[in-house]
Amino acid sequence: QYGLDDQWSWVLIPMLGFTFAGCALMAIIYGLMTPEKWNARFNPQAVADARSGNTNWFTIAAVVLALMVGTGVLMASIVFSFQRYFEYQVEEARKISQ
Per the CB < 8 A criterion, the answer to whether 48 and 39 are in contact is yes
Q: What is the pTM of this model?
A: 0.80
CA distance 83 to 81: 5
Please give the pLDDT value at position 1.
67
Total structural domains within the chain? 1
Q: 54 lies in a domain?
A: yes
Domain-embedded: residue 75: yes
Q: Which domain range does residue 71 map to?
A: 9-97
Residue 16 in domain: yes
Choice between 10 and 73, residue whose per-residue pLDDT is larger? 73
The reply to whether 1 falls in a domain is: no
**3-state DSSP call for residue 98?**
coil
| 25 belongs to a structural domain | yes
pLDDT at 15: 94
Q: Is the pLDDT of residue 72 over 90?
A: yes
Write the pLDDT tens digit of every residue in 4-56: 778 888 888 899 999 999 999 999 999 999 999 998 899 889 888 888 888 89
| AA identity, residue 71 | T
